[in-house]
Structures are given as structure tokens and as C-alpha cells.
Amino acid sequence: MKNDAIQTHLLMMKQLAGQAANPFHPEKSEPAAGGFGQLLRESLGKIDGLQHKADEQVTAVQSGRSADMIEAIVALEEADMSFQLLLQVRNKAVRAYEEIMRMQL
């Protein structure tokens, strides 16, 4: 992976860490046009794309078409982190649903 790409990823990670450290002061932004469902579909598509990209890079390294093992490892880790985040969002949504179902009317 090129140095510029690594720097870009590091910058994005620092921005996300800053947002996570200060959750009570979110940035003001326009509401999403498609809502939560659209955001979820887009996120799933991105995660799927990261998984496919990582698979392709690992296959390229294994077959000898690429010698850049570091890039393949970074792609694998990026895909894994994205998938772990997806699992946490799913777990949070399930807990919220279960809590709503326990509410008395």
C-alpha cells in the first residue's frame, strides 16, 4: 500500500477516534436522504466490497500475481474491522429490539 493511502487511513482513524471520544457533541449535518435503511444497505455493500477486495488480494499473493503481502494483510484487517463493527451494530439493534419487546403497554 502506498504511503499516501496509509496516511489517509490513519487520518480517518484519528477522526473516528475523536468522534468516539466525544459522543455528546456530534457534528451537525443534514439528515440522510434515504434514512436508516438506505444507510444500512450502503454500509453492507461497502463491507461486502471490502471482503471481496481482501479475498482478491490474498488470492493474488497466493498465486504469485502480486508480491505485496502487506497490502493484502491491511485489506484483510480492514475487512475484519468493518465486519466486527457490523456485528456490534447488529448486537446493539437486537438488544434494543429485545428491550422494546419487554416494555409493558
pLDDT of residue 20: 64
pLDDT, tens only, 12-62:
777 766 666 665 555 566 655 678 889 888 999 999 999 999 999 999 999
Is 31 inside any structural domain? no
Is 22 inside any structural domain? no
Is 90 inside any structural domain? yes
Is 102 inside any structural domain? yes
Q: Which long-range contacts does 48-51 make (Cβ < 8 Å, 24+ apart)?
A: 50/75, 50/78, 50/79, 50/82, 51/79, 51/83
Is 68 inside any structural domain? yes
pLDDT of residue 37: 84
Q: Residue 96: which domain range?
A: 36-105
Is-above-0.75 flag for pTM?
no
Question: Dihedral of the CA atoms 52, 56, 57, 58 (nearest 10)?
Answer: 100
- pLDDT score of 76 more than 80: yes
Find out whether 78 and 54 touch, Cβ atoms under 8 Å. Answer: yes
Q: Mean pLDDT of all residues in the chain? A: 83
Structure confidence at residue 8 as a pLDDT band (50, 70, 90): confident
Contacts of residue 83, defined as CB under 8 A and 6 or more positions apart, other chains included, come to 47, 51
Q: Which residue carries 451537525 as its cell? A: 28
- Residue 99 DSSP class: H
Is 93 inside any structural domain? yes
How many folded domains does the chain comprise? 1
pLDDT of residue 60: 94
pLDDT of residue 67: 82
Is 71 inside any structural domain? yes
Is 75 inside any structural domain? yes
